[in-house]
């Protein structure tokens, strides 16, 4: 199918953006990397009056560390995220996630802001930022808001963003933590049938603040409260891992999809839980 006819405007700055959005109202559709939007246009699933291009807005760019947080600008492309040294040092979970996101051509165009704003339940980055307890920094004509990532994803393809509001950046608190991401996808680059982004600390041999966040198994990233609680304060060992796997059943309510029934997603989530958590054990701990 061919795209519907539409207008195009490019915003040079945030103030410029607010005036363009005000001018076009609900007919405006923001475009950054376009890796989801362009497909929906080609499917004629959306017919915006005007595409508003934000890729030249300098305030939305850049990766920096200050005041105890890693700040990642919304326009950061997946490929940039994957090769950035600050990200690798302070949020290696994101570095590990990037190769799992689609294919190189998509990673060269797609942005972190776009991925979070679209909020696909099977996408990696939303799960990662919930696991990292990040804050989504938004901007609008009314000013800035700071929304905890766990509150940002509200429903299937739904976020806490208001009309006229965009993601400006993601802020990840600097912390010593262990993290890992694994997923099961039919082919490399496919959306996961099930995935797990996990972060936790081990202090004095005990698990502290575990955050097990599953993707591809719900309406958005699922922070598994019961499974995480089953680990909190316990030694990471076969028993606690099994407890987390057992508790997981009540955390997840996966939908059926083309790949299989809810039961299969639950099963895969349990398998991933075991694999990710076992990955945190060093070989001597496993032997013990």
Partner 1 sequence: MNEITPASIGLSREDLPNSYIGRSVPRPNAPKLVQGRATYTDDVVLPRMVHAAFLRSPHAHARIGAIDTSAALAVPGVIRVFTGADLAKVCDPWVATLDHLKGMKSAPQHPLPLSRATWQGEPVVAVVAESRAAAEDGVAALRVEFEPLPAQTDMETALAPDAVVIHPELGDNLVFTRTAETGDVAGAFASAHKVVEARFVTGRHTGVTLEPRSIIADYNRADGTLTVHHSTQAPHMMQGVFAKHLRMEEGDVRVICKDVGGSFGIKVHVYPDEVAVAAMARILGRPVKFIADRFEAFASDIHARDHRIKARLAVDGQGKVLAFDVDDLTGIGPYSVYPRTSAIEGNQVVNLCGGPYDFKNYRCTTTVVLQNKAPTCQYRAVGHPIATAVTEGLMDLAAEALGMDPIEIRRRNLIADDAYPYTSPPGMRFEGLSHHASLDKLLEMVPVAKIRADQEEARKRGVHRGLGFAAFIELTNPSPFMYGIGGARISAQDGCTVRMDPDGSIVASSGVTEQGQGTEAILAQIVAHGVGVPVSRVKIITGDTQTTPYGGGTWACRGAGIGGEAALQSAIALKQQILEVAGAMLQAAPESLDISMGNVTDKATGAERMTLHELGRIVYFRGDTLPKDLQRELVQTRHFITKEYPFAFTNGIQASWVEVDPMTGMVKLLEHWCVEDCGRVVNPMLVDEQVRGGIVQGIGGALYENCVYDSEGNLLTTTLADYLVPMSAEMPEMHVGHVETPTRESLLGAKGAGEAGTAGAPGAIMNAINDALRPLNARVHEQPFTPERILRALGAIA
Catalog residues that contact partner 1 under the rule CB under 8 A. Answer: 1-5, 43-44, 184, 186-191, 193, 258-261, 263-264, 267-268, 271
Query: HSE-up of 262 (CA within 13 Å, CB side)?
Result: 9
Q: Which is nearer to partner 1, 219 or 278 (CB)?
A: 278
| Residue 178 to residue 9: CA distance in whole angstroms | 43
DSSP element (H, E) containing 211: strand 206-215
CB of 264 to partner 1, least distance (A): 5
DSSP state of 25: G
- β strands within 32-161, DSSP E: 50-53, 63-66, 69-73, 135-140, 143-148, 153-155, 158-159
CB of 221 to partner 1, least distance (A): 20
Assigned token pair, 96:
């590990």
CB of 149 to partner 1, least distance (A): 26
Q: Is the dihedral of CA 136, 71, 188, 130 positive or negative?
A: negative
Q: Which is nearer to partner 1, 2 or 284 (CB)?
A: 2
Give 69's strand partners.
Answer: 66, 173
Q: Which is nearer to partner 1, 173 or 260 (CB)?
A: 260
| Residue 284 to residue 288: CA distance in whole angstroms | 6
| Residue 86 to residue 36: CA distance in whole angstroms | 27
CB of 283 to partner 1, least distance (A): 15
Q: Which is nearer to partner 1, 22 or 42 (CB)?
A: 42
DSSP state of 134: -
| Residue 26 to residue 216: CA distance in whole angstroms | 30
CB of 263 to partner 1, least distance (A): 5
CB of 132 to partner 1, least distance (A): 25
Q: Which is nearer to partner 1, 44 or 83 (CB)?
A: 44
Q: Which is nearer to partner 1, 135 or 269 (CB)?
A: 269
Residue 229: count other Cβ atoms within 10 Å of its Cβ. 16
CB of 133 to partner 1, least distance (A): 28
Burial of 187 (0-12, 13-18, 19+ CB in 10 A): exposed
CB of 175 to partner 1, least distance (A): 31
Nearest to 229 by CA among 209, 215, 249: 209
Q: Which is nearer to partner 1, 44 or 56 (CB)?
A: 44
Give 260's strand partners.
Answer: 257
Q: Which is nearer to partner 1, 36 or 50 (CB)?
A: 36
């Amino acid at each position: 199918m061919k795209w519907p006819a539409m207008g195009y405007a490019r915003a040079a700055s945030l103030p410029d953006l607010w005036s363009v959005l005000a001018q076009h109202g609900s007919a405006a559709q923001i475009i950054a990397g376009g890796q989801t939007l362009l497909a929906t246009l080609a499917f004629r699933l959306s017919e915006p009056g005007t595409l508003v291009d934000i890729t030249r807005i300098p305030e939305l760019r850049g990766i920096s560390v200050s005041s105890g947080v890693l700040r990642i600008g919304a326009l950061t492309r997946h490929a940039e995220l994957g090769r950035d040294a600050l990200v690798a040092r302070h949020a290696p979970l994101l570095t590990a996630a990037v190769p799992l996101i689609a294919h190189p051509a998509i990673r060269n165009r797609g942005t972190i802001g776009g991925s979070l704003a679209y909020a696909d339940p099977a996408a990696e980055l939303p799960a990662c930022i919930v696991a990292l307890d990040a804050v989504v920094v938004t901007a609008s004509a009314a000013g800035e808001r700071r929304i905890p990532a766990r509150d940002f994803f509200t429903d299937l393809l739904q976020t806490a963003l208001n009309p006229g509001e965009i993601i400006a950046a993601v802020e990840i608190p600097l912390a010593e933590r262990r993290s890992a991401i694994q997923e099961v996808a039919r082919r490399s680059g496919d959306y996961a049938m099930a995935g797990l982004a996990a972060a936790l600390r081990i202090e004095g041999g005990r698990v502290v603040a575990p955050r097990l966040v599953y993707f591809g198994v719900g309406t958005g990233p699922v922070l598994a409260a019961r499974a995480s609680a089953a680990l909190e304060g316990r030694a990471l060992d076969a028993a606690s891992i099994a407890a987390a796997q057992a508790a997981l059943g009540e955390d997840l309510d996966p939908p059926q999809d083309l790949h299989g029934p809810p039961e299969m997603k639950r099963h895969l989530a349990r398998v991933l839980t075991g694999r990710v958590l076992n990955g945190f054990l060093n070989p001597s701990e496993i032997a013990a």
